[in-house]
Structure 1
């Protein structure tokens, strides 16, 4: 496993991290990737650590705290050997939010209790409105206070779309951002965000590197997702577009000994502006497959060029007008 600096936060993380939305499970109106088995989830976390993964990303919202509890169960005796990031502010899947200083403090205490630790390595605002820091300077005040108190080592922002990160970096000096980036969604690259983060020393956490599983090659346009799986909420046209796009990108892959998922993860890690990628993993087998990516290294310049050309020649997002047809 290779490790990278998380910008100028002072944190060093495994370049393959563990996104824990999925292991939070489903229930009480919450959806993720369908039902899970806690025994299997704990085994996956333990295997991830054995494979050298040190970075684990969660949120108070995932499984209404269940994801954090699982991390606490597994990593309490290994706390100094892992980097744990959580999030605050997004209250439910309908988009309700609370970024008040009181809520940030209270939510942190709840997260620390579930994680069975007395500090977080990274605390992230979870999909805040773009004008939050301008309208609520007390948000920055409370985050800085928590850092001084030693309850968090660093803080950052998980943005809804890559374009929202520019103002956070250039105006507010944010040191770490979490963004969407994958072969089917290259906005962070085409907008110049990755280049900006690299030049400014901003840590970049890449979520959805497998585009909700569509870049694993396991799903086709005919795949039916069941209740409890958030992918049922996407339009049929969008699911078809992503499944077809995955097939197109598979044709670029030269090394047929690697899986499509490994190819997709190597693509994200080919850019020096990226600090870590956090695919979701539910089983030990998935963990081992993803962890093996690190030793393979980045894609060649030729492969990246072809991937970027394919992206420029196609549209992988369904526009609203198409949904009305």
Structure 2
């Protein structure tokens, strides 16, 4: 496993991280990837660390705190070996977000308790609106928490590259989290990655497998389990991702399965502007498979160019069911 600096925060993170949304399981009013088993999730967390994955990204909203609780259980005796990132703003998906300083501080205390730690390495605002950043009170609360030693660094997890650029320009965010994968290269085409380098901003890339479609294992006859968020996407969107994944994987010479997963991750690793990419991990096998991408190294430049060219002429986004 190779490691990269998280911007100018002083944190060093594994270039393959652990996206912990899925292990939170199902909660009221929200889906992820269906039901989970805590023993399986804890085994996945332990195996990830054994494979050199040290960056774990979660949120107080994932499983209404259950994801944080699992990370706390998994690493309570290994705290010094891991970098834990969580988020504030949403406590539960069935309630509106609250980015008031009081709510952010209360959320942080709850996260500290669930994570069984006395500090958080990275606390991110969870998809704040532009107005939240413009007012500045939420960022002020983050800076107060940092000064108090409750958090080591702060950042902003954003809905898209436009919001990420605003977080960097308006709030001087030292870390941003964005979608980035072979079907979503907006971070490149909008100039976001270039701006991040100029400002020494740490960049966390989420959804590197595009909800599993870039594994090449999702087919038209695939049945998603109850509680799987992919059931909420339109048939046209699902088919677009299935066909698009096949074309992209063919372009980089990858077969469905581990080869495809590693190619998708290695595409992300080909961009030194990214500090880490955080595939969702549910099992020990997935942890091993994802970590292997770091050993293989970035995709060759020709393969990266082929992916970018396909994106230049093709739109991979259609919309949600009913949209």
TM range (shorter): over 0.9
Corresponding residue of 1:107:
107
Corresponding residue of 2:212:
213
Q: More deviation in 265-274 or 83-92?
A: 83-92
CA distance in 2, matches of 1:28, 1:145: 32
Contact 1:163/1:188 (<8 A) preserved: no
CA distance in 1, matches of 2:284, 2:223: 24
TM-score (norm 1): 0.95
How many angstroms does 1:323 deviate by? Answer: 6.2
Contact 1:221/1:244 (<8 A) preserved: no
Aligned pair 1:204/2:209, yes or no?
no
Q: Taking structure 1 as reference, are residues 219 and 4 closer, same or farther at Cα in structure 2, changes over 3 Å only?
A: same
Corresponding residue of 1:141:
140
Per-residue CA distance 1:84-132 (angstroms, 9 max, x = gap): 0000112443672100111101111011000000100000000000121
Contact 2:133/2:170 (<8 A) preserved: no
Corresponding residue of 2:126:
126
Contact 1:13/1:83 (<8 A) preserved: yes
Aligned pair 1:292/2:292, yes or no?
yes
For structure 1, the residue ranges without an aligned partner over 5 or more in a row are: none
For structure 2, the residue ranges without an aligned partner over 5 or more in a row are: none
SS of the residue 2:13 aligns to = strand
CA distance in 2, matches of 1:140, 1:173: 9
Q: More deviation in 78-87 or 93-102?
A: 93-102
Corresponding residue of 1:62:
62
How many angstroms does 1:250 deviate by? Answer: 1.3
How many angstroms does 1:258 deviate by? Answer: 5.6
Per-residue CA distance 1:268-300 (angstroms, 9 max, x = gap): 110111000000111111111000000111111
CA distance in 1, matches of 2:254, 2:134: 48
TM-score (norm 2): 0.96
Corresponding residue of 1:176:
175
Contact 2:86/2:122 (<8 A) preserved: yes
SS of the residue 1:65 aligns to = helix
How many angstroms does 1:28 deviate by? Answer: 2.7
CA distance in 2, matches of 1:18, 1:142: 27
How many angstroms does 1:234 deviate by? Answer: 1.2
CA distance in 2, matches of 1:174, 1:253: 34
Q: Aligned residues, how many?
A: 322
Q: More deviation in 191-200 or 143-152?
A: 191-200
Aligned pair 1:225/2:224, yes or no?
yes
CA distance in 1, matches of 2:22, 2:305: 32
Per-residue CA distance 1:170-203 (angstroms, 9 max, x = gap): 2321100000010111111111111111221100
Per-residue CA distance 1:112-154 (angstroms, 9 max, x = gap): 000000100000000000121212x222221111001000000
How many angstroms does 1:48 deviate by? Answer: 0.4
Q: Taking structure 1 as reference, are residues 125 and 260 closer, same or farther at Cα in structure 2, changes over 3 Å only?
A: same
CA distance in 1, matches of 2:140, 2:241: 41
Contact 2:233/2:319 (<8 A) preserved: no
